A and B are shown apart, each in its own frame.
Chain A
């Protein structure tokens, strides 16, 4: 182990923190830095309880009306001055990969360019600095924006209604399945509690179905990676509430029999929930309403480019069919006869029979602004091009790599290309090793081991915002890695990554001995006593 990679032993954190707490100072940059990749301690190891990065006026110390509930003990929250705070988080930011740094081919996650116009519009004070409970007359523009976005979503999907309040994709699934449940209950269909879910579905689908009081019955995939129609038909019955299907599905394929699936589930008395995670593959070219869908959430960040921010926020407006629309949750905006906007906030004021309220307030307004900005920037012509280029890019990758990597299924794919690990057979290299080696080549790896129906799955989604020359470079890198693995250059993979801010992290240890927060080192406690 050379000097530069030696890094700070973890137990040293305690010593550094003890010094900090004792001196009120902060630790200097510590060993573990490599060139511009600077090791960064936790704020708890560098801040102090009397340090502060904001200027506030001195309180007057006047009488309180806290009823004797004033806090007695220290909280233990360290502060940093503004320059230190800036440096701390800028340094941390440099340890992240991001779409602005390069291709981020996470299949089914859809990482595309995030235009800064979206950010600028979301920060207009008229959108960012308004309160959800302001008088309705003072936020007409905000309701108008929600109404406009709803119009775009309904038109793009050819669906008659949309619930705007779901706060993320999985929350949108919950919305759709709750609407189905409410409709079944309203019709006295209390025996319908079984939901069909393909094996390749996102884990959120079965989890959501259970949350809505359904049981899950899995449908296997056929050899083309699509719903096995015979198995599906065999599962239909008068206890079926519906099907939760992703289309294009998580194998990156369009479900060719989608219309038949919709017809059969409807004939059987159930409803069709479509997981809209992959809507970017068909936007402007196919309207889910024309496929027989009853409910579908739309992840605004995937199709309409709201940035994902390292894990969120999301936003999952859910379009609903005529049958389910009356059960949409509150609150929702309506246009008044005079052309203004109003808000229906209470179940009793709703025209239909809402299944409830999903969260406080109206939804992810900041995401709505970004999504509408993106839609208007593209227009109907640009959005159609989005789907076409997304599909073109995925098929280009598939076509150019299938001679060195193994594709899971034959034929054209939609917006993502699915490979498996057969090309790594007998090389001693796993999908995980392959992914980590991609990091050393400067790329974020693809989605690994998903969908579960494919062994060692590698799901690559380039999205529509990647250029041909960029894709060519990526293809060359993967080609070279595949050839290296086959040539027996195993060490290159097993040691990877060596050019990342950390080497391979021990995830098993994290789960077996969970350390979920910083705690004051023992030395400090002793010193204080």
Chain B
């Protein structure tokens, strides 16, 4: 086996050094009934070439986003990632390092995480951020739990227009805690319904902007009312690029901002791994209650700046059953990809990228609004919006796929049994005018 260096001679010499006759003598603590003599019924080893052939065949059964006019969003977005990003994250020293438990020989990871935390804080208009979460949905769930700890209240109010998967992940995490989650109706799902739910027991209100239908929300009024009642505002985003153009949640009164970072630096990957962004205001109550890892600045014995993982007394390996969360890992490599891509973009590039996304979406909306049987639902949007079609969107999407167009996400896939004729479509800088024309024509053909 090419990954295992020992020869049988080595193995024999090592067994001799240990003082046992055979490898079986090292497994004698295993109960006899559980010891397997033969091989498990699975294929035996394959060469590199054989494995490549098998997996390539499997991969070829999928239509890749780059191989079709592509308008699928709803929480994951196709963007162009500069070649530099993938090259750098494949550097052995980043790719094959572990959690930076020994900071003196992990400064690469630690300084990068410190840069990541700063970039996330700046982008969201917040003061501090953690060193990444699994993804946006679990970051959202953790934020709901954190708000309960901070406010010592247990009623969380989520807008119905928050990504339904995020709502479900939050409900799952909160299921056996004291936290009770109230979800407002998704339609019309304006902020009035959220505001109406805020009372003296409310720990937080959770609002996504742009929301699952693509609509942008001004958080200022809801923040004012929530804060009057002592509740926190959690702002959610699934499209990080939007923050290059629209007002940051932190500047609209949000206390915690969580979102999916996949758009920047991380590919679609069929749902994961992604990178969860988690930022909050600089409030002592908040930082000690944050979930996940934090990188912090310090000095070494010679007085030079260095970075370490810090405030670990919140974490499971010290606080065990009293920890802020059970999280032990993060999305370190995806956070690195995010930071490299963000560094390449800088403020100038991010602003341009965001504007390109928005303009492409405006062009898409203009093109589709001319298709008979299509009504654009949104008044506001960033790069994603919702269509009301003359027939069920799930059928339309399947028909589009048959002609090679990946035409969006039927809202009914996220809201089973509801919004049958609603189709959520996304455009990014990767969509060409030709793509848009093909989509409009194909849509007209299947409606």
Contact = CB atoms under 8 A, between A and B. Distances in A.
B325 A100 contact: no
A369 B62 CA distance: 14
B187 interface: no
B272 A98 contact: no
Q: Which 7 A-B pairs have the closest CB atoms?
A: A79-B346, A309-B333, A126-B59, A361-B271, A213-B176, A141-B61, A311-B332
Contacts of B33: 259, 290
A357 interface: yes
A373 B55 contact: yes
A313 B4 contact: no
Given A156-B42, A313-B273, A399-B18, A141 B62 contact: yes
A514 B381 CA distance: 38
Given A56-B349, A355-B172, A114 B306 contact: no
A291 B380 CA distance: 57
A96 B93 contact: yes
Given A126-B61, A128-B267, A173-B326, A313 B134 contact: yes
Contacts, number: 730
Given A101-B92, A128-B267, A130-B64, A96 B40 contact: no
A497 interface: yes
B298 A133 contact: no
B88 A90 contact: yes
B94 A96 contact: yes
A511 interface: yes
Interface stretch (A227-235, A280-288, A485-493): A280-288
Contact of A207 (B122, B313, B321, B349): B321
Given A42-B114, A211-B326, A312-B132, A79 B84 contact: no
Contacts of B332: 308-313
Contacts of A497: 104-105
B169 interface: yes
A507 B308 contact: yes
Interface stretch (B65-73, B152-160, B435-443): B65-73
B138 A171 contact: yes
Given A42-B114, A310-B333, A514-B296, A466 B5 contact: yes
Interface in A385-416: 385-386, 388-389, 391-393, 395-396, 398-400, 411-412, 414
A373 B39 contact: no
A475 to B, nearest CB: 10
B323 to A, nearest CB: 4
A119 interface: yes
Interface in B67-119: 67, 70, 72, 74-76, 78, 82, 84, 86, 88-109, 111-115, 117-119
A275 to B, nearest CB: 11
Interface in B400-427: 401, 406, 409, 413, 416
B51 to A, nearest CB: 5
Nearest to B37: A285
A101 to B, nearest CB: 7
B281 interface: no
Contacts of A369: 55
A291 B62 CA distance: 39
Nearest to A68: B218
Given A69-B247, A348-B416, A391-B26, A357 B172 contact: yes
B346 A170 contact: no
B1 A174 contact: no
A198 interface: no
Given A42-B115, A382-B45, A516-B287, A167 B273 contact: yes
A480 interface: no
Contacts of A334: none
Interface in B152-210: 163, 165-166, 168-169, 171-173, 175-177
A416 B50 CA distance: 33
A126 B333 contact: no
B131 interface: yes
B30 interface: yes
A29 interface: no
Contacts of B367: none
B371 interface: no
B316 A510 contact: no
A527 interface: no
Given A210-B321, A355-B172, A510-B308, A439 B76 contact: no
13 contacts: A9-B304, A54-B344, A71-B247, A129-B65, A145-B55, A207-B321, A305-B3, A308-B333, A311-B98, A345-B413, A412-B26, A436-B104, A509-B298
Contact of A203 (B39, B323, B398): B323
Given A82-B84, A311-B99, A392-B14, A287 B1 contact: no
A376 B59 contact: no
B271 A53 contact: no
A423 interface: no
A391 B6 CA distance: 13
Interface in B186-242: 216, 218
Given A381-B44, A399-B17, A204 B328 contact: yes
Q: Which of B5, B46, B319: most chain A CB closer than 10 A?
A: B5
Nearest to B23: A388
B186 to A, nearest CB: 15
A380 interface: yes
A290 B34 contact: yes
B39 A113 contact: no
Interface string B311-336: 11101111111110111111111101
Contacts of A206: 316, 320-321
B447 interface: no
B285 interface: no
Nearest to B355: A59
A515 interface: yes
B429 interface: yes
B434 interface: no
B343 interface: yes
A13 B111 CA distance: 14
B107 A96 contact: yes
A33 to B, nearest CB: 11
B213 to A, nearest CB: 13
Q: Which of B117, B287, B346: most chain A CB closer than 10 A?
A: B346
Given A98-B95, A109-B99, A53 B4 contact: no
Contact of B135 (A285, A359, A400): A359
A32 B42 contact: no
B233 to A, nearest CB: 16
A89 B340 contact: yes
Q: Which of A169, A258, A362, A389: most chain B CB closer than 10 A?
A: A389
Contacts of B117: 516-517
A435 interface: yes
Contacts of A477: none
A465 interface: yes
A518 B166 contact: no
Given A96-B105, A126-B56, 20 more contacts: A7-B300, A10-B297, A82-B84, A86-B84, A89-B340, A128-B267, A141-B59, A144-B61, A168-B328, A203-B320, A206-B316, A307-B96, A312-B334, A360-B75, A439-B102, A505-B103, A507-B310, A510-B308, A511-B312, A517-B127
A353 to B, nearest CB: 13
Contacts of A268: none
A376 B106 contact: no
B348 A385 contact: no
B387 interface: no
Nearest to A84: B343
A455 interface: no
Q: Which of A32, A89, A388: most chain B CB closer than 10 A?
A: A89
A518 B114 contact: yes
Nearest to B82: A54
A329 B34 contact: no
Contact of A360 (B28, B44, B82, B169): B169
Given A53-B84, A113-B3, A391 B27 contact: yes
B349 A69 contact: no
Given A130-B63, A365-B271, A395-B26, A90 B91 contact: yes
